[in-house]
Structure 1
C-alpha cells in the first residue's frame, strides 16, 4: 500500500513538474517595487475594481495605463495583498517582459499559471493528468489543453482563484493575439459559469494599433475595463513625491525647511504629470547629483533642482550624459538590447570588458584573465551605477534595463533617428547632411541604437569570445 502511494505521489509530481518553467515567477514579480504607502488609490478604490471584487462567476478586469503609470507596481502590491489576506485565495501570476524570450511567451505564461495552482492545490492535479499522459512535457506547448485544465480546476475550487497577467503588451505578437482571443472566449462563458470562482486581472498599455489587438478586451460587455490613462492619479503622485522626499531627506540628513522646500518645488513641477516613473527619475537624479551631500543646505538643493529636467526623455538624457564614455555606454547597451535572455552579473562583467574602447596599440585579450574584470560583485555594481545611473539595475544576480520605457527610448524606430530634444531627425539622404545630423544626434540618447547596431555589436563580442583560450579546468569540468 505504501509503495502504491509513493508511486502515485511520484506520478503526480511528474505531472506538476511538466508545467514548471525555468523562470522564477516570484522573482519576476519582485523585480517591481511595491506601491508607496497610501498610494494606488486610483486602482484600489476605483468603481470597476470594487465591482470586480464583489461580482460572482468568472470575471476579467482589464487595466490600462500609460507607460510609467505604475501598472506593474500595482500588480505586485495587489498580489502581495491577496496572499496576505485572511481568506487566502489561490493566486497565480505572470509578468511579461520584453527583455527575455521566455518572458514573452504565451505558452510559458499559461504553463507557469497552471504550475502555481497545482502546487497550491494538489486536488487540481487530477484535471491535468489526462493531458499529461497524452502530451508528456509537451503539454507546456498546448495552450488549449492548459486553458481547459485552468477552467475545470477553477470550477471546483472552494476559494477564489485569481490569475494576474501583467504587461500583456510585452507578450510576443503571435501569442498576444491568441491570448486576447482566449481571454475573450473565456469571458463570454462567464455568465454561464456562475459557480466558478475564477477571476483574471490583465494589464496593458492602451495601444490601439494592429499589433496590439485589445479592442475586444476594452469594448466587451462582459469584461470590466479600468482605464488608468483617464483615472485621477494626481493625489497618488503627490503622495509619492512626499514619500520619496522624506526618504531622500533622511538619507542625506536634510533639514525640515529643506524637505518642505523640496516637496513644494517638485509638487508644483508635477501638478499635471501622470507618470510615476518621471517622479522616480527626478528623485534618482537628485540623489545621484554630485552636489547632493549629507546635510546639504537649502540653497544647494535649490541649485540642484534647477539641473533636474521635468520631462522623462530629458531626465533619461540627463542621467545618461553623465557617463564618462558615451561610446562604451552605447556599445554595452547594444549587447543588453540584443540579448534574448536575462543576463547575469558574471556575463555582464565580460560584456562590460569586451565593449570598452581599445587602444589601437594594445593587444586584444585572449582569455578571461586578461579582461581585468572586478571580482567583487558589489564593487562592479557601484562601477555600473557610476557610469549608467539607474539605467542598468540589478535584482539579485540578474541584470536589467530598469524599465521597458528605457529600452524603447534607446532603440531607434525603422527609418527614423531621434536626435535632439527638439524633435525627430529623419535619416539624412544627402552625404553633406551627415555632419549636421551627427551633431544633432549627440544631443540625445533617444533612438541612438538601431536593431542592426545592437546585433552587430553582439556579434563582434561573440566572435571575440570564440578566440579566447578555454582553461583546462573548464574542459575537465574541475
Structure 2
C-alpha cells in the first residue's frame, strides 16, 4: 500500500480542486441513455464523455465520484488528470485506482504480492504491471462491481494516453465477446481531440453506445449554464449589495451573451467583481465590452494589473505553470521571495502574515487547463500581451534556481537541522523532491554558476529526506551526482572537461552504476563511450530495466 501511495500523492486533493455540481445541472449526462446503460449494466462497460472546454466535465466527474457511494456490492475509484509532472502520469492514475480499491477491500491486495516481491518499492513504475494487477483483482468474484472514473484523459502524457486506450480496447473487446465475467465500469472524459478520437476508433465504431458527445447536447448544456448564471447573479447581488433592478439587468445582459460556457461565465464574474460600486449603467457598459473568447478574458484580467506588480506576477505565473505539483500558499510565498543573493532563511521575508484568515496549507493552481495553454509559448514568435508570453524552459530554470538556492541556505549546514528546518520553513519537501526534475528539463539553459550552485546544494540533505532508511553513498565527485540524477547535458560538459568516469563512492559504485540503477538512459549512453567505465561496471543485485540491460550488455 505504501509503494502505491508513494506514487499517487493526494488523489483526493486532485478531485477537490474542481467545483461542486449545482443542483439540477449535469443532467445532459445523468439523463442520457448511454450513461444509464453504462451505470446499470450487469457486466463490464465503458463510457467515454467528450466535450469542449468549459462544458462542466470535471464538475460532473467530481459529482459522479461522490454519488457512486461505496457499498458491499461495489467500489468507486477515481483519478483526475492534470497537465503537470505529477498528475499527468498514467502510472500515477493506475496506482491511485489500486490504492483506493485495496483500501476498500484489503483482502484483494494478495494480487499484488508476486509483483511486489519482484519490484519492491518500484512496484508502481511499469504501467502494464499495474494494469495487470487491476484486471486480476476485478476478476475475483469477491470484488464485485468496480466503478473507475478517469477525468481529463487529454491532460495525461501522450504515451500514457496511448497505453490506457490500448489497454481499455483490449479489455472491453474481451468483455463484449464474453471472455471475462468481471464488472469493471470505467468512465473517461476528455476533449474531443483528433488524436484521442483516432485511438478510440475501434471501440467507437464497433460499439457506438460508449460515447456521449457534449457537442450534441449543446442546447441542454446552454440551459444549465443559464441556471448557473441566475444562481451566481443572486449570490453576486448579495455580495455587492445590488438592488433588484440591478440584479435583473445583470442577469438579462449575461443571458444574452453568445457562446456561453461554464469557464467563460466564471471569468466574466471575476472581471465584474473588480468593479468599484457597480451600477446598472456601469454593468451594462462593462458587459457590452466583455471579452468574446476565453483568451480575451484571460488577457483582460491580467492587463488590469498595476505596472509595478507585473514583474512579481510574471514570476508567480512562472512558478505556477512550472511546479511539479500545486504549491501551498506557504510554499508559494517562499518561492516568490527567494533571490540569488539569499544565504540564510533569515534573509527571506516571505509574506506569511495570515491577516485575512487564509489557510496557508491551501494550494495554488490555475483556474483551468486553457489558462496554461494561453500563457505558455508554442513557438519563437514574439508574444502579444500576456498570451504565449511564458517560455517553458525559463519556468523550469526559475524553479530549479529557487529549489537549489533554498537547499544552499546555511540552515542545512548540519544534518541535525534538516528535519526541524523542513517543519519550520515548509519548502524543503518540495525542493528536495523536485529540483532534479526542473534542472533536468532546463539543463541546456544552465550556466556554470548554476552548475557550481548545484553541487553546493547539499546532496546529503537530499539523501536524508528522500532515502531516510538507506545509507548515504557519500558522493565525492560531481559527475557521480549528475549521473545519479540523469543530468545529461551537465554530464556531457563534465566528460568534455575530463571528469573521472571511474570515480567510486564508498561502496565502490561508479557513475555508470548509478545512471543504470536509476534508468538514466541518456547518461548511460554517454558513459558507455568510455571503455574503462564499462570495465569497472558491476551489475546491480536488482534487475536492471530491459532498456539499460540491452544497452550495456550489447557492448
Q: Specify whether residues 130 and 223 from structure 1 end up closer, same or farther in structure 2 by C-alpha distance, changes over 3 A only.
A: farther
Q: Specify whether residues 277 and 115 from structure 1 end up closer, same or farther in structure 2 by C-alpha distance, changes over 3 A only.
A: same
- Provide Cα deviations, 1:132-165, integer angstroms capped at 9, x if missing partner: 3333333212433332332233231464210011
Q: What SS does the corresponding residue of 1:102 show, helix, strand or coil?
A: coil
Q: Is the 8 A contact 2:14 2:80 kept in 1?
A: yes
Q: 2:391 aligns with which of 440, 447, 450?
A: 450
- When the two chains are superposed, the root-mean-square deviation of aligned CA atoms in Å is 2.9
Q: Which residue of 1 aligns with 2:266?
A: 280
Q: 1:257 aligns with which of 234, 245, 248?
A: 245
Between 1:249-258 and 1:121-130, the stretch displaced more is 121-130
Query: Is 1:177 aligned to 2:158, yes or no?
Result: no
Q: What SS does the corresponding residue of 1:375 show, helix, strand or coil?
A: coil
Query: Is 1:371 aligned to 2:348, yes or no?
Result: yes
Q: Specify whether residues 149 and 334 from structure 1 end up closer, same or farther in structure 2 by C-alpha distance, changes over 3 A only.
A: same
Superposition deviation, residue 322 in structure 1: 2.0
Q: Specify whether residues 158 and 129 from structure 1 end up closer, same or farther in structure 2 by C-alpha distance, changes over 3 A only.
A: closer
Query: Is 1:345 aligned to 2:329, yes or no?
Result: yes
Measure the CA separation in 1 of the matches of 2:132 and 2:191.
28
Measure the CA separation in 1 of the matches of 2:13 and 2:399.
27
Aligned length: 412
Q: Is the 8 A contact 1:56 1:194 kept in 2?
A: no
Measure the CA separation in 2 of the matches of 1:380 and 1:215.
51
Whose radius of gyration is greater, 1 or 2?
2
Superposition deviation, residue 315 in structure 1: 0.9
Q: Which residue of 1 aligns with 2:148?
A: 163
Measure the CA separation in 2 of the matches of 1:412 and 1:38.
39
Q: Is the 8 A contact 1:374 1:380 kept in 2?
A: no
Q: Specify whether residues 211 and 307 from structure 1 end up closer, same or farther in structure 2 by C-alpha distance, changes over 3 A only.
A: same
Q: Is the 8 A contact 2:112 2:133 kept in 1?
A: yes
Measure the CA separation in 2 of the matches of 1:417 and 1:68.
28
Measure the CA separation in 2 of the matches of 1:456 and 1:18.
30
Q: Mark the runs of 5 or more structure 2 residues left unpaired by the alignment.
A: 421-555
Q: After superposition, where does 1:17-416 map in structure 2 within 5 Å?
A: 17-21=2-6, 22-83=8-69, 89-99=74-84, 101-155=85-139, 156-157=141-142, 159-191=144-176, 192-193=178-179, 195-209=181-195, 213-216=199-202, 218-221=204-207, 224-232=210-218, 233-270=221-258, 272-273=259-260, 275-287=261-273, 289-291=274-276, 293=277, 296-324=278-306, 325-354=309-338, 364-377=341-354, 379=356, 396-416=361-381
Q: Is the 8 A contact 1:107 1:140 kept in 2?
A: yes
Q: Normalising to structure 1: TM-score of the pair?
A: 0.78
Between 1:104-113 and 1:446-455, the stretch displaced more is 446-455
Superposition deviation, residue 346 in structure 1: 2.5
Measure the CA separation in 2 of the matches of 1:338 and 1:397.
18
Q: Mark the runs of 5 or more structure 1 residues left unpaired by the alignment.
A: 1-15, 356-362, 382-393, 419-440
Q: Specify whether residues 454 and 18 from structure 1 end up closer, same or farther in structure 2 by C-alpha distance, changes over 3 A only.
A: closer
Measure the CA separation in 2 of the matches of 1:404 and 1:212.
22
Q: Specify whether residues 146 and 260 from structure 1 end up closer, same or farther in structure 2 by C-alpha distance, changes over 3 A only.
A: same
Measure the CA separation in 2 of the matches of 1:136 and 1:452.
34
Q: Specify whether residues 117 and 460 from structure 1 end up closer, same or farther in structure 2 by C-alpha distance, changes over 3 A only.
A: closer
Q: Which runs of 4+ in 1 moved over 6 A?
A: 471-474
Q: Specify whether residues 378 and 145 from structure 1 end up closer, same or farther in structure 2 by C-alpha distance, changes over 3 A only.
A: farther
